[in-house]
Amino acid sequence: MIKVSVMYPNTPGARFDHEYYRDKHMPLVKARLGDGCKFYTVDKGLAGGAPGTPATYVGMCPIYADSVEAFQKGFGPHAKEIMGDISNYTDLSPVIQISEVVVGQ
Amino acid sequence: MIKVSVMYPNTPGARFDHEYYRDKHMPLVKARLGDGCKFYTVDKGLAGGAPGTPATYVGMCPIYADSVEAFQKGFGPHAKEIMGDISNYTDLSPVIQISEVVVGQ
């Protein structure tokens, strides 16, 4: 299992519509990716690790897939539509990383 | 539900023992935190989002808890032991963030 982590830096003044992200964008991603997305979760940044510090990311979304190939196969044909929806909820550019899930739930 | 994300920046030349982290450190954290850790996962960074780019984090571990208070109650009494074990697998300082789990698995 692999995880594609999409992380939006918590930048002062930036726009991020958590409701749109939860209710519109991520369901769109799941619908389009099909088997390329086994499941996903959505996190809303609350705080940093030290008292009084801000969260590093305003929003984080790990997308789980059987393999990098499965994810890419699902994402590729719909990349334009999915990427085109980003401006509807944010003006931020996400940090993206692919990880191996060493310990799953 | 909240998530405490512990993320180790992928710094060239840094040390990170994935086996120790998976087999020793995180089981220690789970054992000590008790109800302060409902479950956790472990990720090993493979690559960045763009082709040929490195992962932002060499390792990531989300720890799930019912609340920030539940996590802190479990962590506090064992902070010294848990933090003292970090040097056994890495010389990196993790980025830590607390998030609300808006969409769970």
User: Using the beta-carbon criterion (under 8 Å), do B55 and A99 form an inter-chain contact?
Assistant: yes
Average pLDDT over residues A79-99: 97
State pTM to two decimals: 0.94
* Structure letter (DSSP) for residue B38: S
Counting Cβ atoms within 10 Å, is residue A71 exposed (0-12), middle (13-18) or buried (19+)? buried
User: Using the beta-carbon criterion (under 8 Å), do A22 and B103 form an inter-chain contact?
Assistant: yes
Instruction: Tell me which residues of chain B have a C-beta less than 8 Å from any C-beta of chain A.
Output: 2-5, 7, 18, 22, 26, 39-50, 55-57, 60, 62, 68, 94-105
pLDDT at B28: 98
How distant is the Cα of B40 from the closest Cα of chain A, in angstroms? 7
pLDDT at B51: 86
User: Using the beta-carbon criterion (under 8 Å), do A104 and B41 form an inter-chain contact?
Assistant: yes
Beta carbons of A45 and A59 less than 8 angstroms apart = yes
For a pLDDT cut of 90, what percent of chain A falls above it? 96
pLDDT at B72: 93
Rg (CA), chain B: 14
Q: How confident is the model at residue B50 (pLDDT cuts 50, 70, 90)?
A: confident
Per residue in A30-72, pLDDT (tens digit) is 999 999 999 999 999 999 998 899 999 999 999 999 999 999 9
Q: Is B73's pLDDT higher than 90?
A: yes
For a pLDDT cut of 90, what percent of chain B falls above it? 96
Q: Which residues of A touch B62 (CB under 8 A)?
A: 62
pLDDT at A88: 98
pLDDT at A72: 93
Average pLDDT over residues B19-37: 97
User: Using the beta-carbon criterion (under 8 Å), do A96 and B49 form an inter-chain contact?
Assistant: yes
Alpha-carbon span A81 to A3, nearest angstrom? 21
Interface with chain A: mutation pick from B24, B39, B99, highest number of A CBs within 10 Å? B99
Alpha-carbon span B2 to B31, nearest angstrom? 19
Mean pLDDT taken over chain A: 96
Q: How confident is the model at residue B79 (pLDDT cuts 50, 70, 90)?
A: very high
pLDDT at B105: 78
User: Using the beta-carbon criterion (under 8 Å), do B46 and A96 form an inter-chain contact?
Assistant: no
Respond yes or no on whether ipTM tops 0.85: yes
User: Using the beta-carbon criterion (under 8 Å), do B41 and A100 form an inter-chain contact?
Assistant: no
What is the crossing angle of helices A26-33 and A68-75, to 10°? 100
